[in-house]
Structure 1
């Protein structure tokens, strides 16, 4: 699956999710929205982190970890 994770600076939940992804060597495109050249998410988001699969929002916050555990 094609995963896109949108994160931001100083985001505690973002850090937890990224650590999980790195530890489990998952293939996820991580996009920091606070960087100048960041790609915008397919829809407006109000919570970070937000996980998209093929353009659809699948999970946000630390619920992303449970989603990835179940779908990988």
Structure 2
């Protein structure tokens, strides 16, 4: 039943949000924007580079249970 609805059904436009919802969205955006990439290192702590010579980074996992708790 959940998948019977298009994606747009679950989206909320900012202009349709209450001031409290906008404040919550801004708080969440600030939190997410504060994330820094995880730099990949070898066992000795040296940075790992890709084939082009760029330092490898990985995304952090967001603990959504902690956010909602």
Question: Bigger radius of gyration, 1 or 2?
Answer: 2
TM-score normalized with structure 1 length: 0.24
TM-score normalized with structure 2 length: 0.25
Relative CO higher for 1 or 2, CA cutoff 8 Å, sep ≥ 6? 1
